[in-house]
Every structure is written in structure tokens, then in C-alpha cells.
Amino acid sequence: MQPLQLADRVFTSRLFTGTGKFGSVSVMTEALRASGTELVTVALKRVHADDPGDEMLAGLSGIPLLPNTSGVRNAREAVFAAQMAREALETHWIKLEIHPDPRYLLPDPIETLAAAEELARLGFVVLPYVHADPVLCKRLEEAGAAAVMPLAAPIGSNKGLKTFDFLEIIIAQSRVPVVVDAGLGAPSHAAAAMEMGADAVLVNTAIAVSEDPVRMAQAFRMAVEAGRMAWEARLAPVVSHAVASSPLTAFLED
Amino acid sequence: MQPLQLADRVFTSRLFTGTGKFGSVSVMTEALRASGTELVTVALKRVHADDPGDEMLAGLSGIPLLPNTSGVRNAREAVFAAQMAREALETHWIKLEIHPDPRYLLPDPIETLAAAEELARLGFVVLPYVHADPVLCKRLEEAGAAAVMPLAAPIGSNKGLKTFDFLEIIIAQSRVPVVVDAGLGAPSHAAAAMEMGADAVLVNTAIAVSEDPVRMAQAFRMAVEAGRMAWEARLAPVVSHAVASSPLTAFLED
Amino acid sequence: MQPLQLADRVFTSRLFTGTGKFGSVSVMTEALRASGTELVTVALKRVHADDPGDEMLAGLSGIPLLPNTSGVRNAREAVFAAQMAREALETHWIKLEIHPDPRYLLPDPIETLAAAEELARLGFVVLPYVHADPVLCKRLEEAGAAAVMPLAAPIGSNKGLKTFDFLEIIIAQSRVPVVVDAGLGAPSHAAAAMEMGADAVLVNTAIAVSEDPVRMAQAFRMAVEAGRMAWEARLAPVVSHAVASSPLTAFLED
Amino acid sequence: MQPLQLADRVFTSRLFTGTGKFGSVSVMTEALRASGTELVTVALKRVHADDPGDEMLAGLSGIPLLPNTSGVRNAREAVFAAQMAREALETHWIKLEIHPDPRYLLPDPIETLAAAEELARLGFVVLPYVHADPVLCKRLEEAGAAAVMPLAAPIGSNKGLKTFDFLEIIIAQSRVPVVVDAGLGAPSHAAAAMEMGADAVLVNTAIAVSEDPVRMAQAFRMAVEAGRMAWEARLAPVVSHAVASSPLTAFLED
């Protein structure tokens, strides 16, 4: 599997994860380690980096953190949160999330673009969570986003690749990595996102609320690798029915 | 991953494969080894078991073969072919395929049931390839089939789980293993079949006609394991939108 | 809209209906009249044709009835039921339904084919309800069925065209009318079945259990006509994205 | 069917149409009349309202026109185009379309919101064409849009309701009419949009490029009415399999 270059880092794992909804810190830690993830998003508001006993951060030691701006309502708050995160966690990477509505947690395109422009100008590596809107993704790229993170389905819904037709366009057009975020509820969904050419996926809920998060994390890890390998090997085309066998199958045939 | 018991054998791999449509015997051999498969179906008519130089059989040495009756047009011919296969390959396992129409290669339910009854009576381990017809699958089980092999989509189409709603019923009702066969065109399709509780899958075309069959075989291998593990760990439920965070997420939240 | 020829009758309406699950006989009667249907299936066991006060039959007076064999468990019982229906209702048309399992009401392919052969020999106009199995449909046609009635989804599920890929093959191959039966839960489902070239649809549950069966019956009536007209006018092809405008649109453009 | 109130007008027809891609003006005129439409969008740049011989406008006489801003690249140009349209066509209704990319014609969320704010302030009845982005739709409503026009699929693709999961949220949240626009390729797609509670649909390509635009227009007309009636009558719920019959069906059963 080819490594992923994102901004100035190289990733062996194409499975990004989060820290929400786990039943305990120890389960979370074990699951994230099992996932092989090399980037874990964490809500700034929940981090107490100056607290040496912060159990969560201790458990994740060694795995790079990606602070996110979850909870902010507009661009101004997002920029402020990113600056706080930079200080607290000593990283200029930021997952930009602006979803004012508490019910669906869907991202606001206007505020997100405004914040991305400002944060890029301030030297951040900006990874914006957005609707699967090809025009918005292109504008975010032009504004200096290091990647785009379009959603597959409403966050937490586990519905899978509901935005397939738009992700296809986003992937075809993008010159920055495309990380499919939100709504991937099963390893098969993550594999399918990779098979269509996504550069990475972010999975949180589907791992955290499984009956066995550690095993589910392993399953997602393998599925992401499988999907990426399939993309590299090129999928067989979808056809309306079986085609006649090739000459070789005169003696090799199933 | 739990092993699979099918008739009197135990399988570590839940990925069954075939030998059709590969570009060469050496690619086929390498791909099937990479797939980790422990059961490879092969058309009887193509096997020359008495020929010590049979290149294909030599390459597969050590991987159990599952002769199939591909090419027969009715139950009578199928029973005859199975008996020939038993002698030639010294196995009483038989994949029962009766698809009179050369265009779609779809199985004939009537002839398949008749042949299954007869072959079970003759002591064969019968694995019938059938439409995803829950009543037919139940009747085949009652007739003594060791497993049922319902199709996911027209064979060779690579369309994926088009019979999802019927496979669900078949899996819920079956007391013999359910092996999803035909139409799985991507690792994500195979993972999805396993996630819904299939006991195994059979993949041939999607591996054989990929640009890189060896890598694709590995991808399917991982995807099948991922799907099985996800089934064992239980998928998170599909919901219409994000649910409120659990109490714990007062401090752990993505 | 072109009329439908089925056996020796011509139908203006391509919406066949049933009598199950309505809240009252009067609602049923009004709904079936609103549907414009010219063929209503009715379970023989529920008909008391010799009872001059049979409210249901009275309400339907003028609409041709299609007795069905619902409740029988095998071919022998089906043939007997068909003969009783012929006498009681003075019609040699029969909807052949053999679904031994009371949970899913899915049809048995083996018994259905056996009964169809016998009933055709006995001079019946046989309309068998079957799984969307292209090989079985072809065999039923060869056995003398006047039409085939493949299911769209499990009966009563309202899931819509879940068997699309197989209905496509059935429609392409069939030389008798194809009536899509079971599982159509919305007018859009019925329209889609007609758009793909089905000759007619049968709808019962979706009308009967609606909050307003009369209005829903009208909606299905219009949707079936719309779908048929669209098929006659040919749908625009599905493309991956907008194509360049034609020369004419130099001055006509949206 | 209930009439639709949109801004200060009442519509009997819930099928909005366009003028692009027709083979001739006469076919367009006949098709639009057959569709029963009461609102036809037309590109300002193509209209020569001061030309008494403008064949297109003459043909549509009596059908209200909805000028659109197709061809503009940003908010500033859109506002200018809307003002020109107001003068030329003597209507303050405007379909706001800003899609800078000529390949996919997908709308720009940022420019669209900016233009909608300005146009609403200038007294226009603004109907913006947008991605199926629930947050954006809410912001457009707050900015004074008279309706929102989210897309079903890439324009001209005929793919149908690819944004179903997001349209569901938009419809649930919106306090202005929701008109599903772009991508509806078949009457069944239009019916499905109405069944889920859309207030209206806009269809152009699917009618214009059909082999028989007049008949296709009639088909869409009926399908839209059918879908609306089904929504008013409430669809039967989707269930996993047939439910037991109600008591009444002791004597009424299909």
C-alpha cells in the first residue's frame, strides 16, 4: 500500500480516528492502537494538556493528535479555538468543524470557508469537515486547505457512502488529499470509499459504539487497506452480465 | 476470526475462489496463494487429472479443489459430471452448477434441486449455486446440501450485493453455511456480505480480471476477514442522524 | 398508453390489484374503483360465490376477478384450488401462488412450476407469482404460463424494486407479459417498474394500508400510466454529468 | 392535490420546467403545455423580450416565466443579471444559479448565499439552486429566499434522488417550499421526490431529450401528481417482511 502524503507528513495508515463515544478511556486506547491509526482527532474543549494526569492524552501517547474545533458556531470562534489548540497541544494541524446545529452536526459551508482562509493565512495545516460539495471543496483547496474532508452521510448515522456521486467528482477534481469523513458505519463502507480513490477515511462512531471496539478497529484497519489495495490494483469493471471467457479459459475456467 | 465448519472440514479462510479468466496459470497460482483460499472451484471438463503434466493442478498443489459441474444442462448431466469428478479428483465434494442459458449463466432451480437430492443420496458433499431464493435454499438444505451458494448479482457482473434483502432472509433461516457466490466485484462487496452474516464468499472474476490479480486477491482476503470480524463485533446500528453523546463523552468527544 | 394484451383479453389499465388488508369492504370497493383496475385478485378460500349476499363480490361487480391459490402448500393443492375457483367464479384464469412458509410468503419455485404445467394442460390461463428468477420465468413461459409475476421485494414489505437487476433480464427475455408483483410500496415504485418495461404491476398492501386508500389508489393509477408513457417515450439516458448543449440551445437554454 | 403557495403566488401544478435542450421551439412549446407547468425557467441571456418576434416567448405566452442567472460566475454578476431580467421580463422572480464550473454546472454555495442576501434586500423573489446542503438551505431561508432548490443529482445526469438522505433533512427543517431541482431523469424520480414531501420539482433535461418530449411531459405531470397524492395519503411503512393480516382479513384477503 502506498503511503499517504498530507501536508508535510507521511502516513502509513489511511485510517484516521476520533475519541468520541467510547465506553471508557482504556477501551478507547486499546481500540485506537488496534486500528493502527496515525492521526486521532480530539475536541479541544475536552483536552487538559496542562494536566499531567490527563488520562486520555496519556493513553494516546505516541499517536499524533489532530485537535478539532467541534463546538464552535462560526468562523471567528473556530479561528480562536484553533489558536488555543495550537498552544495547548503544540500542533498547527487543525480539523476545522463548524456545525451550528446540534441535531445533525452538519457543517456550515460559509463559515468553514471563511475560517479556512484565515487559518491557512495564519500558518495552520487546515483539514475542513464539509458537505460533499465539489465546488466548496475546490474553493477550500484554493484557500489553502491541506486536505478536504467531505462527509459520506450524516455524522453518527452509519449509513455509508450516501454521497457517492459527489465524492466521485470531488476525488476527480481535487489536488489535495480527500479524506472521507462522517457516516461510515461498517468496514465495507470504508473499503468502498478507498476503492473509489479516497486518500483516507475518518471513522469514529462505528468503532466506538460497537460491542467490541477493539475488534471493530482491527476490522476497519484491514478494510481500509483492502480498499486501497483494490484501488491500486484497479477494480474489474461493472458489466450487465457475464462476458464470454477469454481464449485462455479454453483450459482454465471456473 | 472464528473458523468455518462446512461438512466435515474446518476452514480458516472464508474466501473461496475459482480458476476462470486468469491471464496465465502462473498469475492464477500466485493470486490464489495470496488469497489464502482453502477451497478452489475448478471446472471438471478442464481438468486432466491423469495427465501428470497438468500445469494448473500442479500449481494448486496443496489447495483443496472443489470440482464444479459447469457446462451441464440438467440434473442428469450434473450427476454424471459429479461422478466423473469424484473419480478424477478423488473428492466427493461437488459444486453443483446448472445454468442452461449461456448468456447470463443463471442457475436453474428445478434441475439444481433434483440433482442435489440425487447427489446427496449418492454420498456427495453438495454445494449448489442458486438464485438468492429463500424457499429454494431451504429445500436444498432439506435435500441434504452441505451449504447453499446464493448469488449476489449476475455472475461476472461485479455489481455487488444486489440480492441483499433475500440474502438476509436466507441467512436468518439457514441451518447450513451460506456462501455468497457470483457478482461480488470489489473487496467492499465481500466485506458487506460477511458483515451481514454470510459464512463465506466465493470470488473469481473480480480477482482474475483485475489489472493486478495478486494484489486484488490479497485485498479480498483482508476484506473478508474484516467483514467477518465486524460481524463478530456487531456493527453499530444505522440511525437517521447523530444521537446525543453518552455520559462519558462529557470528557471524551470527537 | 398502449393497451395490454394478456391471453385473450385486452386491458386498458396496467394496474392489477388485490382485496387483502383493507379496513372495510366499502373502503376496498371505493379504492379499487378509483384505481381503474380491470383485474382484482381474490383468495378463493374467502369467496362465497354461491352466497347471494356476499358483500365483497357485490361491491366489485363489473371488475373481472382473478382467483388466487393463496393458502395452498404444494402443486397438488394448487391444482385442486384452481379447479374449485373455476367452478365457483366461472373463470379459468388463476393466479398461482404457492408459498408454504407463513412468515415471508415467498413462492416455492418447484411446486409452482409443477402446478403451472398441470394447470396449463387443463386449459387454465395461469399467472404464476414467483421469485424474480429469470430461468424459472423462462421455464414457466415454456410450460404455458400466460404471464409471469415476479416479485419486486418481499410481499408486504413496501421496499420497492429490490430485484431490479433480475427483472431487467426477465423483461428482456420474456415472450409473455411480465407483471411485477409484491413489494411495490409507493407510486414511484410502480412507475419505475413500468419505466423499465414491465407490462403491468400488481399492488395491494400499499393501497390497502395507506391512511387514505382511495387517494392512494388514484396515485398508483396515475403513476402506472406515467411510467408506461415514459417507457413508450423512452427515458433520457443516465450520464455521469451534464453534457454540452446541442447547437439549438445556442438560443434555447435553461 | 393541495395547491402550492410560493411567495405571493398559488400554483396548481407542482412541476416546474425549463426551456433548454429541446429539439425545436414548437416541440418545446407543445411539451411545456402538455406538462401543465405554471412556471418555466429561462436563461436571461437567451431572451430578447424587446423583440416582438421572439419565437420562444411567443410560444410560452400565458405561462409565467422564471428568468435564471445561468452563465454568471459570482454574486456580483448574478445581481446584475437579475436586475436586467427584472427589466426585460417585468418580473421580480429570479432563479439564482451560480455555477462557475462549466463541466458539472454545480452551484457555488458562497456566491449563492451572498447573491441571495442582496437580491432579497432588493425585493426579488429569490429561488436559489443549491447543493442538497441542509445548513446552506437554512441560511438561504434566513437570508430571505422564497424557496430553496436543492439538487437531486448532478444536473443533466438523470440519476434521480441521489441526495435522498439530505433532502429528508432539508424538507424536515425548511419553512419555505423545497423544490427539488436537477438530476431527476424519470417520472418515478419526480414521484419519489414528491412522496418524501418536496413541495415541487423542476424538470428540464429529462423531458427535452426524450424521444417524445410531449408524451414525457405528460408522464412527469402525472407522476408529480401521483407522488403528491401519495404524500397526502401517507405511504405504507417499509417493513422487513409481510405482517400478519388484520382481523378483517379473516374474510378479505389477497
Q: Which of D135, D162, D165 sits opposite A107 (nearest CB)?
A: D135
Residues in Cβ contact with C142 at an 8 Å cutoff, skipping those fewer than 6 apart: none
> What separation, in Å, do the N-terminal and C-terminal C-alpha atoms of chain B show?
29
Q: Whole-angstrom Cα distance, residue B82 to residue B67?
A: 8
Q: Whole-angstrom Cα distance, residue D143 to residue A6?
A: 37
Partnered with residue A31 across adjacent β-strands are none
Percent with pLDDT over 90 in chain A = 74
In this predicted structure, what is the pLDDT of residue C104?
Answer: 87
CB A99 within 8 A of CB D135: yes
pLDDT at C202 exceeding the cut of 70: yes
**Is D164 or C54 the better-scoring residue by pLDDT?**
D164
* SS3 of D61-111: CCCCEEEECCCCCCHHHHHHHHHHHHHHHCCCEEEECCCCCCCCCCCCHHH
Q: Given an 8 Å threshold on Cβ–Cβ distance, is A109 in contact with D136?
A: yes
In tens, the pLDDT along A6-24 reads 999 999 999 999 998 898 8
Please provide the DSSP assignment of A158-197 as one string. ----TTHHHHHHHHHH-SS-BEEES---SHHHHHHHHHTT
Minimal CA–CA distance to B36: which of B66, B78, B64, B2? B64
Q: Compute chain D's Rg from CA coordinates.
A: 19
Please provide the DSSP assignment of B138-188 as one string. HHHHHTT-S-BEEBSSSTT-----TTHHHHHHHHHH-SS-BEEES---SHH
Which residue type, as a one-letter code, is found at position A208? A
D contacts of B240 (beta carbons < 8 Å): 168
Q: Which CATH architecture has domain C4-250?
A: Alpha-Beta Barrel (3.20)
CB C198 within 8 A of CB D248: no
List the subunits that have 3+ CB pairs under 8 angstroms with A. Answer: B, C, D
**Is A13 or D252 the better-scoring residue by pLDDT?**
A13
In this predicted structure, what is the pLDDT of residue C193?
Answer: 98
SS3 at position C2: coil
Q: How confident is the model at residue B247 (pLDDT cuts 50, 70, 90)?
A: very low
Instruction: Give CA C247 to chain center in angstroms.
Output: 44
**A241 interface with C at CB cutoff 8 Å:** yes
Helices marked H in chain A: 25-35, 55-59, 75-89, 109-121, 134-142, 164-173, 187-195, 205-208, 213-233
Minimal CA–CA distance to A110: which of A143, A64, A85? A143
Q: What mean pLDDT comes out for the span A194-214?
A: 96
User: How high is the mean pLDDT of chain B?
Assistant: 89
Measured from the Cβ of residue C156, the count of other Cβ atoms closer than 10 Å reads 26
In this predicted structure, what is the pLDDT of residue D236?
Answer: 85
Q: Which three cell numbers stand for residue C160?
A: 420497492
Q: Whole-angstrom Cα distance, residue A34 to residue A82?
A: 29
Q: Which three cell numbers stand for residue C124?
A: 387454465
Percent with pLDDT over 90 in chain D = 75
Q: Whole-angstrom Cα distance, residue C206 to residue B115?
A: 39
Minimal CA–CA distance to C97: which of C146, C130, C51? C130
Give the strand pairing for B15-18 and B40-43: parallel
Multiple choice CATH, A4-235, 3.20.20.70, 3.30.450.20, 3.60.70.12, 3.20.20.10: 3.20.20.70
pLDDT at B78 exceeding the cut of 70: yes
Of A96-100, B239-243, C54-58, the range with the lowest mean pLDDT is B239-243
Task: Return the biggest CA–CA distance within chain C.
Answer: 70
Q: Whole-angstrom Cα distance, residue B29 to residue D54?
A: 71
**D241 interface with B at CB cutoff 8 Å:** yes
CB D38 within 8 A of CB D46: no
pLDDT at A229 exceeding the cut of 80: yes
Q: Given an 8 Å threshold on Cβ–Cβ distance, is B135 in contact with C159?
A: no
Instruction: Give CA B151 to chain center in angstroms.
Output: 9
**Is C254 or B67 the better-scoring residue by pLDDT?**
B67
In this predicted structure, what is the pLDDT of residue A98?
Answer: 96
Q: How confident is the model at residue C47 (pLDDT cuts 50, 70, 90)?
A: low
pLDDT at B18 exceeding the cut of 50: yes
In tens, the pLDDT along D179-196 reads 999 999 999 999 999 999
Q: Which residue from B minimizes the CA distance to C98?
A: B135
**B189 interface with C at CB cutoff 8 Å:** no
**Is C243 or B50 the better-scoring residue by pLDDT?**
B50
In this predicted structure, what is the pLDDT of residue B239?
Answer: 83
Q: Which three cell numbers stand for residue D243?
A: 405482517
**C253 interface with D at CB cutoff 8 Å:** yes
Q: What mean pLDDT comes out for the span A127-142?
A: 97
User: How high is the mean pLDDT of chain A?
Assistant: 89
H/E segment holding residue D245: none
A contacts of B43 (beta carbons < 8 Å): 253-254
- Counts of helices then strands in chain B (DSSP H, E): 9, 10
pLDDT at A46 exceeding the cut of 90: no
Q: Whole-angstrom Cα distance, residue B146 to residue A185?
A: 33
**Is C61 or C231 the better-scoring residue by pLDDT?**
C231
Contacts of the segment B28-34: beta carbons below 8 A, 24+ positions apart: B28/A252, B28/B56, B28/B59, B28/B208, B28/B213, B29/B59, B29/B60, B30/B213, B30/B214, B31/B207, B31/B208, B31/B213, B31/B214, B31/B216, B31/B217, B32/B60, B32/B63, B32/B217, B33/B63, B34/B214, B34/B215, B34/B217, B34/B218, B34/B221
In this predicted structure, what is the pLDDT of residue D107?
Answer: 96
In tens, the pLDDT along C74-109 reads 999 999 999 999 998 889 999 999 998 888 889 999
Minimal CA–CA distance to C223: which of C13, C51, C58? C13
Minimal CA–CA distance to A195: which of B192, C242, B200, B20? B192
D162 is an active site residue: no
Q: How confident is the model at residue A55 (pLDDT cuts 50, 70, 90)?
A: low
Q: How confident is the model at residue C6 (pLDDT cuts 50, 70, 90)?
A: very high
In this predicted structure, what is the pLDDT of residue B241?
Answer: 57
Q: Which three cell numbers stand for residue B162?
A: 444486489
Q: Whole-angstrom Cα distance, residue D249 to residue D254?
A: 9
Q: Where are the domains of chain B?
A: 4-250
Partnered with residue A178 across adjacent β-strands are A148
- Mean pLDDT is highest, among B84-93, D40-49, D86-95, D190-199, for D190-199
H/E segment holding residue A43: strand A40-43
Q: Which three cell numbers stand for residue C254?
A: 435553461
**B222 interface with A at CB cutoff 8 Å:** yes
In tens, the pLDDT along B188-221 reads 999 999 999 999 999 999 999 999 999 999 999 9
Minimal CA–CA distance to B127: which of B204, B194, B48, B69? B69
In this predicted structure, what is the pLDDT of residue A135?
Answer: 96
C contacts of D252 (beta carbons < 8 Å): 19-22, 25, 28, 46, 56
Of A136-145, A212-221, C118-127, D82-91, the range with the lowest mean pLDDT is D82-91
CB A149 within 8 A of CB A116: no
Give ipTM to 2 decimals.
0.90
Q: Which of C104, C204, C223 sits opposite D241 (nearest CB)?
A: C104
In this predicted structure, what is the pLDDT of residue D245?
Answer: 43
pLDDT at B17 exceeding the cut of 60: yes
Detail the DSSP E strand segments found in B44-165.
Answer: 65-68, 93-96, 125-130, 149-150
Q: Compute chain A's Rg from CA coordinates.
A: 19
DSSP character at residue C136:
H
pLDDT at C248 exceeding the cut of 50: no
Measured N-to-C along each axis, helices C134-142 and B109-121 cross at an angle, to the nearest 10 degrees, of: 100
Q: What mean pLDDT comes out for the span D105-131?
A: 97
C contacts of A169 (beta carbons < 8 Å): 241
Partnered with residue A175 across adjacent β-strands are none
In this predicted structure, what is the pLDDT of residue D246?
Answer: 39
Q: What mean pLDDT comes out for the span C17-25?
A: 91
pLDDT at C19 exceeding the cut of 70: yes
The label of the residue with cell 471567528 reads A76
In tens, the pLDDT along A108-130 reads 999 999 999 999 999 999 999 99
Residues in Cβ contact with C172 at an 8 Å cutoff, skipping those fewer than 6 apart: none
In tens, the pLDDT along B103-136 reads 888 999 999 999 999 999 999 999 999 999 999 9
Of C138-152, C206-220, C234-248, the range with the lowest mean pLDDT is C234-248
Q: Whole-angstrom Cα distance, residue B163 to residue C166?
A: 9
Q: How confident is the model at residue C48 (pLDDT cuts 50, 70, 90)?
A: low
Q: Whole-angstrom Cα distance, residue B136 to residue B178?
A: 13
